[in-house]
Amino acid sequence: MRIDETLREEGPTFSFEFFPPKTAQGEENLYAALADLRSLEPAFVSVTYGAGGSTRSKTIEIVKRIKEEWGLEAMAHFTCVGATVPELRSTLDEMRDAGIENVLALRGDPPAGETEWTKTDGGLEYSRELVELIDGDYPALAIGAACFPETHIHATSAEDDLEHLAGKVGAGVDFLITQLFFDNAFYFDFVERARRVGINVPIVPGIMPITNIEQLERFIRLCGATVPMRLVLQLERYRDDPDAVVQLGVAHATVQCMELLARGVPGIHFYTLNKSPATRLIVSALRGRGAAPASGPPR
Ligand SMILES: Cc1cc2nc3c(=O)[nH]c(=O)nc-3n(C[C@H](O)[C@H](O)[C@H](O)COP(=O)(O)OP(=O)(O)OC[C@H]3O[C@@H](n4cnc5c(N)ncnc54)[C@H](O)[C@@H]3O)c2cc1C
């Protein structure tokens, strides 16, 4: 099932993101989280593509397994990192042969320790080129792409970033998923600016429940998202109380999701980090309040 169709026909959707684990224990944790979250009937799940393209076959293997053995729609993330165009094509062939119908087309980040992005010789510079490649030669694939309510961390300006995003969407993107954010004002403002420049595809907000302060600090260093001062102060109070941090993180994300749904988002994509409890609590609370379907028009 193509995710763009699901978003159009069934929204608002819930979806869950996982990453390919590196160890046997990690793999066990992933499938345990999946087993727990499956009962929440997500519209789809997605599996990331490791930094440096390091999880190429693992990503495809997990997506295929989730589709075939778990009966869930699953999307593969895919980046331009470390691959020539023929290599990118060969991975796309593999995805098509594995029955994958949805791909999140990304540029990827510079390798660990580097801040400057340099394209691989014979590879692609921007995700837009990957979108063009998929749209031209793999028309059966639904194409998702990333967007950044607080602007991409290495963009030259918010205006430039939005202009590049509009070009990328025009090249064949069917839906967008946002980088995580902790203040909904960024999302609403971004959607408004995006609509003004003619970006009309669904923009699904990405939500990460905070469960660990050190991990949160690492993420925001990497992606540049900001945490509202009120929340920072509350988190500081609980720095030595991990359970209280989880409770606060779940409460904050639940309130965020309630407002997003009330204002008609097409769905919510949860960054689960391969753990189920926080996401389960939030989705259960939202379902308990009859959070779907939304009343407003899809954004
Ligand atoms: C939902 C989501 C999922 C993700 N999943 C993964 C994953 O699985 N694996 C992974 O490695 N990373 C992942 N990322 C991170 C992503 O790869 C990085 O954020 C990366 O730095 C940007 O990717 P992009 O596809 O947005 O790049 P692009 O769209 O290529 O943009 C990158 C930068 O280039 C600029 N730009 C674009 N076009 C032009 C142009 N023509 N001229 C000049 N500048 C331009 C943009 O403004 C931006 O600053 C994910 C991010 C999100 C939001």
Ligand 1 contacts CB of residue 168 (under 6 A): yes
On whether the CB atoms of residues 202 and 266 are closer than 8 A, the answer is yes
108 Cα–ligand 1 center, Å: 6
Name every residue whose Cβ is closer than 8 Å to that of residue 145 and which is 6 or more positions away in sequence: 104, 105, 106, 127, 131, 168, 169, 173, 175, 176, 177
Question: CA 183, CA 191: separation in Å to the nearest integer?
Answer: 14
Residue 82 carries which side chain, given as an amino acid letter? Answer: G
Q: Output the residue whose Cα is nearest ligand 1's atom 47.
A: 161
- Estimate the crossing angle of helix 24-38 against helix 277-288, to 10 degrees: 10
Ligand 1 contacts CB of residue 205 (under 6 A): no
37 Cα–ligand 1 center, Å: 28
Q: Output the residue whose Cα is nearest ligand 1's atom 14.
A: 108
Would you state the torsion angle of the CA atoms of residues 114, 119, 121, 127, taken in this order, to the nearest 10 degrees? Answer: 150
Ligand 1 contacts CB of residue 132 (under 6 A): no
83 Cα–ligand 1 center, Å: 16
* pLDDT the model gives residue 54: 67
pLDDT along the chain (299 residues), means of 10: 94 95 94 95 96 80 96 97 96 96 94 81 97 97 98 96 98 98 98 98 98 95 94 96 97 98 97 97 90 43
Ligand 1 contacts CB of residue 151 (under 6 A): no
Ligand 1 contacts CB of residue 126 (under 6 A): yes
The yes-or-no answer on residue 17 being catalytic is yes
Note the pLDDT tens digit of each residue in 141-179.
999 999 999 999 999 999 999 999 999 999 999 999 999
Question: CA 38, CA 16: separation in Å to the nearest integer?
Answer: 10
DSSP 266: S
* pLDDT the model gives residue 27: 93
